[in-house]
């Protein structure tokens, strides 16, 4: 049986995907815009085979027709690919206004099967032929809810695949310093759903943005790169949660020409002490706040996070705090594997290396 690793509030909206699939099917263009919610994905090249964190294979002879997603991140990727019309339900639904632009309206049409983890019987009885799981697999420690076994998924006629750039992050053997795993996720999901052309378009757009940043700041010597702390405000302030070198945020920070102050932490997340943050005395701090559903609510949360750092005796003396070096960038687009990782790379680089990024 597989179980999900769960990091308190940090796991509610994790993202990522599979491993390389076969074929590059048709799809529609349109930049970062997804197709209409009722659009059916085009026919791709099959069979397509994907693997889980341990290498177990799942093969598709055709595009799935009834998809359930574990949370908002996998739902968003399907919407961007134009496969939203095949999604019949989700867990951890995105809050109103959380997703950008037209994706938000499309997400509102998807049936909510669970406000958090989808109950086991509801998932097995959903009629789905595919469940896309964003949570960690292979009994990697912890767990959440009464998850179906692989035998139960099979008996229900549901294929079970993972968003690997997040679900398998803790199993990576080395530091994650680029977005190749996220790009592979998008490519694989495009292959599975027959939207390979759209997936390629999304990946190419990401690569273009990141390559431009790399050309501008990628040659900055390690010792000249500003140090950077991702402050996960929503994970609690009593004991900070660090993003370590296996987490996609480490790649985002590195690509932006900065140094994650917890890059020496092997894993994806780890609880540390404020004394650890103080000893590393970051040059910049990102206020990691999850989307509250409106710009006003988001700014209020950012204000609260900044005020806490400025007023807390343990943190008000930090270099970044004294110099007002705060970045207000949402948690999801930094710690969740997805299209917006590339935009976050550019935004961080523009703040830390003024004048070098157009």
Banded model confidence at residue 97, pLDDT cuts 50, 70, 90: confident
Longest Cα separation, the chain: 60
Q: Residue 288's beta-bridge partner residues?
A: 232
Each residue's pLDDT tens digit, 10-60:
333 333 333 333 333 333 233 333 333 333 444 568 999 999 988 999 999
Prediction pTM value:
0.84
The conformational region for residue 211 under phi > 0 = left, psi -120 to 50 = alpha, else beta, is alpha
CA dihedral sign of residues 134, 206, 349, 19: positive
Q: Which residues of 142-152 are buried (b: 16+ CB within 10 A; e: fewer)?
A: ebebebbeeeb
pLDDT band at 358 (very low <50, low <70, confident <90, very high): confident
277 vs 349: CA distance, rounded Å = 22
Percent of the chain with pLDDT over 90: 71
What span, in angstroms and rounded, lies between the C-alpha atoms of 296 and 106? 22
227-232 vs 130-133, strand pairing mode:
unpaired
**pLDDT at position 294 over 60:** yes
Residue pair 33/19 in contact by the 8 Å Cβ criterion: no
Per-residue confidence (pLDDT) for residue 307, from 0 to 100: 98
Distance between CA atoms of residues 151 and 177, nearest Å: 36
Q: Which distant-in-sequence residues (6+ apart) come within 8 Å of 260 by Cβ?
A: 228, 229, 230, 243, 245, 249, 250, 253, 254
Residue 153 has pLDDT above 60, yes or no: yes
């Amino acid at each position: 049986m597989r179980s999900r690793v769960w990091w308190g509030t940090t796991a509610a909206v994790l993202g990522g995907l599979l491993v390389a699939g076969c074929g590059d099917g048709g799809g529609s263009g349109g930049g970062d815009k997804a197709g209409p919610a009722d659009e059916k994905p085009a026919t791709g090249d099959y069979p397509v085979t994907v693997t889980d964190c341990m290498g177990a294979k799942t093969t598709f002879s055709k595009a799935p027709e009834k998809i359930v997603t574990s949370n908002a991140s996998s739902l968003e990727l399907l919407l961007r690919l134009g496969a939203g019309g095949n999604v019949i339900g989700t867990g951890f639904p995105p809050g109103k206004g959380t997703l950008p632009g037209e994706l938000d309206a499309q997400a509102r049409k998807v049936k909510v099967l669970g406000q958090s983890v989808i109950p086991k019987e509801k998932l097995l009885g959903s009629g789905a032929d595919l469940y896309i799981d964003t949570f960690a697999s292979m009994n990697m420690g912890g767990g959440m809810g009464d998850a179906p076994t692989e035998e139960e998924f099979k008996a229900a006629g549901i294929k079970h695949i993972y968003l690997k750039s997040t679900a398998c992050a803790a199993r990576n053997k080395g530091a994650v310093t680029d977005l190749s795993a996220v790009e592979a996720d998008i490519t694989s999901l495009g292959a599975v759903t027959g939207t390979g052309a759209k997936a390629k378009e999304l990946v190419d757009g990401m690569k273009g943005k990141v390559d431009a940043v790399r050309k501008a700041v990628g040659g900055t010597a390690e010792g000249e790169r500003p140090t950077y702390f991702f402050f996960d405000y929503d994970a609690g302030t009593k004991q900070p949660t660090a993003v370590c070198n296996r987490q996609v945020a480490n790649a985002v920070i590195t690509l932006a020409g900065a140094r994650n102050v917890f890059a020496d932490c092997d894993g994806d997340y780890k609880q540390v002490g404020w004394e650890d943050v103080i000893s590393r005395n970051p040059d910049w701090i990102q206020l990691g706040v999850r989307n509250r559903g409106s710009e006003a609510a988001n700014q209020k949360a950012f204000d609260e996070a900044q005020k806490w750092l400025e007023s807390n005796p343990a943190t008000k003396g930090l270099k970044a705090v004294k110099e007002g070096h705060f970045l207000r960038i949402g948690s999801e687009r930094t710690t969740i594997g997805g299209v917006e990782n590339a935009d976050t790379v550019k935004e961080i680089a523009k703040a830390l290396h003024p004048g070098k990024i157009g």
